[in-house]
Structure 1
Amino acid sequence: GWRHDTETATCISNSPELCPGKRFTLTGHPSETLNREWQVVSSVLAGDQPQALHGSGGQGTTLDNHFEAIPADRTWRVPPQPKPSVDGPQSAIVTGPAGEEIFCDEHGRVRFHWDRYCPGNEDSSCWVRVSQAWAGAGFGNLAIPRVGQEVIVDFLNGDPDQPIIMGRTYHQDNRSPGSLPGTKTQMTIRSKTYKGSGFNELRFEDATDQEQVYIHAQKDMDTEVLNDRSTKVRHDHTESIGNNQKITVTTGQTVSIGTKKEGGHDQSITVANDRRITVRHDQTLKVTNDRMASISHDDGLYVANDRKVTVEGKQEHTTTGDHISLVKGTHSLEVKGDLARKVSGVLGIKVRNEIVLESGGKITLKVGSSFVVIHAGGVDIVGPKINLNSGGSPGTPVGTLLPGVLEALMDEDNGQASGGEGTGDGRGPDDSGEPDDENKANLQSLRFAFPGADSSVKTMSWLIGQPYKISDSKGNVLVSGTIEQSGRLPRVMLDEPDELTLMMGSEEWEVEDLALGNDDTSSDDAAYDDEGYDLVNDPYYGKLEQDEQWPSDADINELLNNYAEG
């Protein structure tokens, strides 16, 4: 078929019937190879009609048929016509369904308006490929043109059947990010939240002395590094976290701050609320110079095993309030030099067993101008007057302080939790608050009680569970809590006589002065302070003797006699 024009005969005839497609047989030609059947493939007719021209009537009408023919046994096809070509790219608007911002297929192809009669929807055109900055098998750059964006459409080899989107442009209705020409020094990659107004952005600022790389994440930002990561900041580094921060280090962590021992090479940590540090193994803290800790409230230290403190210089310890030390085992103190103790008040030492004082030199006890010296040569007693076996009585030793911290430690020995419920006055739940017998004579005590036996409280059920507080004359709350089922209130111990106030109830405290009636006092009240106190004179004894928890007469008399003898 491609060689159909290799044997072509050009002929002239006056027969108009020899038109393209007509076959004829040639005979009588001198060349026998040409005497064969031929097929006309083209024909050009040219004729003259002189009669139609003025003054040319002497000639007849002529017709010439210039035609081409090929052998009839050859296959002949019409030469293909040239395909239409599109000259240059065109602009188009990306289309999609109503209300949709991104419309594409699995290959990232989009559609755009094709002609003037296009409705501008998802059926506007065929799927059209989009040229990307980088495209590979599963990698590269991908930015899908969105509905309404203007794109530049070109055609491969000018073929209108092979459109491809080569670029995108901004215009009046499709403005660029930033505010040009003011932001002309910025190179920006900004996306847009799908069906929203947010965006993610990567921006490069190239203004002189204002160079900057800016990253904006509309919501979350995740970074994954499969191996090492290095960050180097040659000046300041500031981080602001609006909520929580969590850092997990699987192996080790090293933090180095500062290069010189001078101001500015410091570290400051401020925690608005609590701070907890958990070290599951050893911890070492090394401070080359000074270390100071300031605690505005309580400080607690718990060591499950041994603790060792070594001070190579001088150690000073100042306690504004009480200093309490509880040693459950043996307490040993060794002083290489001198030991001096100065007590502004009374010094009391109580030992349940023996006291042994051993000195390599001498032991001196001195009061005023009187003193006792014990040395290896004997005992010297010097004083204005020396009394031996002439009566007198020993002094009262100072009682050992037992605040809540020691009682909590004692409760641990008894199997109770150190944070157990107390009475609100620093005593444990099983501590009656009574002082030692030897100290009762020097303390003042008061216990509020309801009239009658404890069983009478059951008739006043409205009292149970009511809050109460006991205050001194200065308004200081000594004891507070709620009334228990027994109706009993705790005993308050005082160093000096004072006026106490008991208030009960959950509403606002309103103090009201009540006038005492004739039945509210007893003429025998003075018996409490008189020597030779007799239980019979107690005006409340008759009411309390029915109480099962009230001690017997023999117990009370024995206790009072012990006070009198002491």
Structure 2
Amino acid sequence: PQSAIVTGPAGEEIFCDEHGRVRVRFHWDRYCPGNEDSSCWVRVLQAWAGAGFGNLAIPRVGQEVIVDFLNGDPDQPIIMGRTYHQDNRSPGSLPGTKTQMTIRSKTYKGSGFNELRFEDATDQEQVYIHAQKDMDTEVLNDRSTKVRHDHTESIGNNQKITVTTGQTVSIGTKKEGGHDQSITVANDRRITVRHDQTLKVTNDRMASISHDDGLYVANDRKVTVEGKQEHTTTGDHISLVKGTHSLEVKGDLARKVSGVLGIKVRNEIVLESGGKITLKVGSSFVVIHAGGVDIVGPKINLNSGGSPGTPVGTLLPGVLEALMDEDNGQDSGGEGTGDGRGPDDSGEPDDENKANLQSLRFAFPGADSSVKTMSWLIGQPYKISDSKGNVLVSGTIEQSGRLPRVMLDEPDELTLMMGSEEWEVEDLALGNDDTSSDDAAYDDEGYDLVNDPYYGKLEQDEQWPSDADINELLNNYAEG
């Protein structure tokens, strides 16, 4: 056997023919050009060779190889193997890595590598796989992986798992700490179930939502609570039942309203009691019982005195829409919109109720967001009253500047009052006599009301709204 160097064209790293043969330059051959014409094609002995299968590792340009000759014939050279030397170092750092068996390739015209490494040090045994770029695994039938201790996966970008039949995930074997599952999603999470979904929790279930929560059910919904149910709503609680609302209480029913309780029925109101019915205000009361009707009060008026009140107007909820399926554009019917509102959060009733109800919502000029330019309005109290002075809605103006929509059974004139109402209202008697040929106007003491210096200072004050600003604001408050 003789030592030789694999050769090839200038700048080429791998040079072979269709049989995996290479060309070499022997050390004793002084006249060899050391290129693609150095020698005849020389076969390479591989660890395993078969018809279309086996092991293949082509010697690269510059590597030292061991060449032998079949039957001693110089016309039949064959490369028996490769060897390391001072300029062709082995992978790892010997002798420190002497317990490792390594199969490492090299990136073509690059510095990367793919590697399969076995560590055989006692109590440090390891199988290591390194892919310089992609790694693909194809299993035509079953695949089983068993990890007897911890399993950690770190994915720097996206992950996609496709299961064409079923999937079963079992976590833990005991009801104790450590047999748990924790999922953390930094941004959005979406789950689509094409058919049924069943969730069974044998102990407690807690849900904490920092913003809105929406639920859309296309058909029926049933909730059964075997124990006690508690419900706390800090803001408004609005319910709309388009069918029949049935409530049966086996025990007592108690309601405490800090404001006004309004009940309005289009047809009859029937109250039936097995004992008695009592209406009480202060020291006055009316008691209806099987033996008769008792009426007690400091003063009892029949067909005189007093006036009827007006029921508090109802609010309509926003309507949730079914989510669209991202894959095929079909309704998923599983969740509401993320912000708990439909595409048009106007609060308007459906077509059936539109024919019977009157609707009005006060709005600021332009979009609701324009109220941000009038920051002095944010947080101010407001109330909406009907033509009889009954307060229908009250509250404070929110950051959005949006005021609630009021629904009435009959047309009426509504009034919006904003602020603390600490001003005084006076009626001004204006005469129609034209006693001047110009636009000047004077009061009883002869002061010029138009050219008054104080009035001029107000007009020049940037913090004081002009007449045009006030008129524009008042004329555009109502939106009907």
TM-score by length of 2: 0.68
Query: What stretches of structure 1 move > 6 A for 4+ residues in a row?
Result: 109-114, 406-566
CA distance in 2, matches of 1:527, 1:445: 43
Cα distance per residue 1:429-463 (max 9 Å; x no partner): 99999999999999999999999999999999999
Q: SS where residue 470 of structure 2 aligns?
A: helix
Distance 1:550 1:385, change over 3 A: farther
Cα distance per residue 1:111-133 (max 9 Å; x no partner): 76772211111111111111111
| Superposed displacement of residue 503, structure 1 | 19
Distance 1:550 1:230, change over 3 A: same
Instruction: Answer whether contact 1:408 1:428 (CA < 8 A) is retained.
Output: no
Instruction: Tell whether 2:152 aligns with 1:238.
Output: yes
Distance 1:146 1:519, change over 3 A: farther
Question: Which of 405, 416, 419 is the matching residue for 1:502?
Answer: 416
Aligned to 1:229: 143
Cα distance per residue 1:321-370 (max 9 Å; x no partner): 11111112221112222211111222111222222222233222222332
CA distance in 1, matches of 2:339, 2:302: 45
Instruction: Decide which moves more: 199-208 or 436-445.
Output: 436-445
Cα distance per residue 1:451-493 (max 9 Å; x no partner): 9999999999999999999999999999999999999999999
CA distance in 2, matches of 1:111, 1:455: 83
Q: SS where residue 103 of structure 2 aligns?
A: strand
| Superposed displacement of residue 387, structure 1 | 2.3
Q: SS where residue 232 of structure 2 aligns?
A: coil
Distance 1:478 1:124, change over 3 A: farther
Instruction: Decide which moves more: 463-472 or 371-380.
Output: 463-472
Cα distance per residue 1:205-229 (max 9 Å; x no partner): 1122221111111111000000000
| Superposed displacement of residue 164, structure 1 | 1.0
Instruction: Decide which moves more: 475-484 or 324-333.
Output: 475-484
Instruction: Answer whether contact 1:152 1:167 (CA < 8 A) is retained.
Output: yes
CA distance in 1, matches of 2:419, 2:470: 34
| Superposed displacement of residue 166, structure 1 | 0.9
Q: SS where residue 204 of structure 1 aligns?
A: strand
| Superposed displacement of residue 390, structure 1 | 2.3
Cα distance per residue 1:137-168 (max 9 Å; x no partner): 11111100000001111222222222111111
Identity, % of aligned pairs? 100
CA distance in 1, matches of 2:59, 2:357: 92
CA distance in 1, matches of 2:447, 2:272: 46
Distance 1:134 1:417, change over 3 A: closer
Aligned to 1:168: 82
Q: SS where residue 371 of structure 1 aligns?
A: strand
Cα distance per residue 1:503-528 (max 9 Å; x no partner): 99999999999999999999999999
Aligned to 1:294: 208
Instruction: Decide which moves more: 226-235 or 440-449.
Output: 440-449
Instruction: Decide which moves more: 403-412 or 117-126.
Output: 403-412
Instruction: Answer whether contact 2:216 2:322 (CA < 8 A) is retained.
Output: no
Distance 1:448 1:361, change over 3 A: closer
CA distance in 1, matches of 2:194, 2:440: 66
Question: Which of 418, 427, 440 is the matching residue for 1:526?
Answer: 440
Distance 1:457 1:260, change over 3 A: closer
Instruction: Answer whether contact 2:316 2:347 (CA < 8 A) is retained.
Output: no
| Superposed displacement of residue 495, structure 1 | 21
Cα distance per residue 1:270-314 (max 9 Å; x no partner): 111111100010000000000011100000000000001111111
Instruction: Decide which moves more: 504-513 or 266-275.
Output: 504-513
Instruction: Answer whether contact 1:204 1:214 (CA < 8 A) is retained.
Output: yes
| Superposed displacement of residue 376, structure 1 | 2.9
Instruction: Answer whether contact 1:152 1:165 (CA < 8 A) is retained.
Output: yes
Instruction: Answer whether contact 2:319 2:342 (CA < 8 A) is retained.
Output: no
Distance 1:542 1:487, change over 3 A: farther
Distance 1:373 1:502, change over 3 A: closer
| Superposed displacement of residue 396, structure 1 | 3.3
Distance 1:194 1:560, change over 3 A: closer
Q: SS where residue 82 of structure 2 aligns?
A: strand
CA distance in 2, matches of 1:253, 1:555: 67
Aligned to 2:297: 383
Instruction: Decide which moves more: 412-421 or 393-402.
Output: 412-421
Instruction: Answer whether contact 1:444 1:495 (CA < 8 A) is retained.
Output: yes
Distance 1:506 1:256, change over 3 A: farther
Q: SS where residue 379 of structure 1 aligns?
A: strand
Distance 1:525 1:200, change over 3 A: farther
Distance 1:403 1:391, change over 3 A: same
**Structure 1 unaligned blocks of 5 or more:** 1-88
| Superposed displacement of residue 558, structure 1 | 25
Instruction: Answer whether contact 1:93 1:150 (CA < 8 A) is retained.
Output: yes
Instruction: Answer whether contact 1:96 1:147 (CA < 8 A) is retained.
Output: yes
Distance 1:383 1:199, change over 3 A: same
Distance 1:245 1:314, change over 3 A: same
Distance 1:106 1:201, change over 3 A: same
Larger Rg: 1
Aligned to 2:332: 418
Distance 1:202 1:417, change over 3 A: closer
CA distance in 2, matches of 1:91, 1:302: 79
| Superposed displacement of residue 178, structure 1 | 1.2
CA distance in 2, matches of 1:372, 1:505: 40
Distance 1:437 1:100, change over 3 A: closer
Root-mean-square deviation (Å): 12.4
Aligned to 2:282: 368
| Superposed displacement of residue 264, structure 1 | 1.0
Instruction: Answer whether contact 1:452 1:544 (CA < 8 A) is retained.
Output: no
Distance 1:409 1:503, change over 3 A: farther
Distance 1:254 1:461, change over 3 A: closer
CA distance in 2, matches of 1:147, 1:413: 52
Distance 1:331 1:410, change over 3 A: farther
| Alignment size in residue pairs | 478
Instruction: Answer whether contact 1:114 1:125 (CA < 8 A) is retained.
Output: no
Distance 1:204 1:359, change over 3 A: same
Q: SS where residue 542 of structure 1 aligns?
A: helix
Instruction: Decide which moves more: 248-257 or 429-438.
Output: 429-438
Higher RCO (CA < 8 A, seq sep 6+): 2
Distance 1:390 1:546, change over 3 A: farther
**Structure 2 unaligned blocks of 5 or more:** none
Distance 1:557 1:151, change over 3 A: closer
Distance 1:334 1:345, change over 3 A: same
Distance 1:499 1:192, change over 3 A: farther
